[in-house]
Chain A
Amino acid sequence: MDQTEARLRALMLAGLAGDAAAHRALLSELGRLLRRYYARRLGFGTPEAEDLVQETLIAVHTRRATYDPQQPFTAWAYAIARYKMIDHLRRAKVRPSSPLEEADGLFTDGGAEDLVVKRDLDRVLAQVSARTGALIRDVKVEGLSTREAAQKHGLTETAVKVAVHRGLKALTARFGGADENR
């Protein structure tokens, strides 16, 4: 995922300097990511989703000078994609908060927004030991069963349960207030 950030950012910087081929490559790749992002929220193959892909690509193009090279590119692109999504829902007179929250729960694989989420997750899991971090990731993020994780790490199931529980407790104490069973 850092590779995606690095690749897209390099394309963006080249495009900002006037490299048309890099800019085209960037828009094509973003188009694919955006198609998946909007399809997941508005339904696959709906005309609205494709309209939003185009609208967002135009926004990325015309507002490209607002990208700050000091900041992650994926966060910038995601902020635009999300803004266009909310704007669409508002125009469509759908109450934006609840459908968006449901849709945000659908992050499972890939997508520009995922890069941002994963970056934060890496940062959070760096707070506990490497093994506990790996166990939490396997059980709570990747969705392995306790038994599968135990086999993968050569531990007993009880040891996995205890490590995950303690790890989450430590993280909850560290970051405060979050519902640990989510």
Chain B
Amino acid sequence: MKTDELIDRLSADLEPAPPWWVTRRVLIGLGSGAFFSALLMVVWLGVRPDLMDAMTGAMFWMKFAYTLACSAVLAAALIRVARPGGSVRSLAWALAAPFGLVGLMAAVRLAGADAAARQAMLMGDSADVCPWRIVILSLPILAGAVWALRGLAPTRLVLSGLVAGGCAGAMGAWIYAFHCNESAAAFIAIWYTAGMAAVAVLGALVGRRLLRW
């Protein structure tokens, strides 16, 4: 087909572009992924039975704040990489803040504990399963993020996959926090972060293949 014909065809019956298209699509993708992830968490693992009591403790909210802050920053980054030429450099500091705060908190608590307590803080009761569960709970959200990006226009595919995976990991960790009864800052700083990072790496690995358009 000649290029002029193509242009004629493309500009015939032009619809106005929907406003907030990128933001809407990203939020729909992440939201539906989170819905299935939450469903999976309830059916597979179950909400922790002492949720009501736990909600009065500071550590529960620390977990919440950590995972939600990472989710929010990475969702904003996802909206940026979904556009051609989008840059996320200015969000790097915003992302460093929650990691830094939780790391600092963990370091302070560890420094003030004796060796046995330190071991308990680091490993908790579920260090061996925690990151894997976070990865599994993140998969529906990663699928939602990939779906959203495929309808948008990311031009840096590996970076976009990394951001999508990181965001899915953080949201998956948030959902896992409704089940998990660990409460040491060191445990969160290590094992939650490990789960989130693993999903981010997974996203980067599949990005180039899955996000092409």
Residues of A within 8 A of B (CB): 15-21, 23-24, 27-28, 31, 50, 53-54, 57-59, 61, 63-68, 71, 75-80, 82-83, 87
Chain A residue at minimum C-beta to C-beta distance from B14: A20
Contacts of B213 in A (CB 8 A): 59, 63
B6–A76 touching, CB < 8 Å: no
Q: Is B53 an interface residue (CB 8 A)?
A: no
Chain A residue at minimum C-beta to C-beta distance from B24: A65
Specify the main secondary structure of chain B where it touches its partner.
Answer: loop
- Given A65-B21, A66-B82, check contact A54 B3 (CB 8 Å): yes
Specify the main secondary structure of chain A where it touches its partner.
Answer: helix
A76–B3 touching, CB < 8 Å: no
B155–A80 touching, CB < 8 Å: yes
Chain A residue at minimum C-beta to C-beta distance from B152: A66
Sample (6) of A-B pairs whose CB atoms are under 8 Å apart = A18-B15, A19-B14, A27-B11, A57-B6, A63-B153, A82-B155
Q: Is B7 an interface residue (CB 8 A)?
A: yes
A50–B3 touching, CB < 8 Å: yes
A65–B82 touching, CB < 8 Å: no
A20–B12 touching, CB < 8 Å: yes
Q: Is B43 an interface residue (CB 8 A)?
A: no
Q: Is B168 an interface residue (CB 8 A)?
A: no
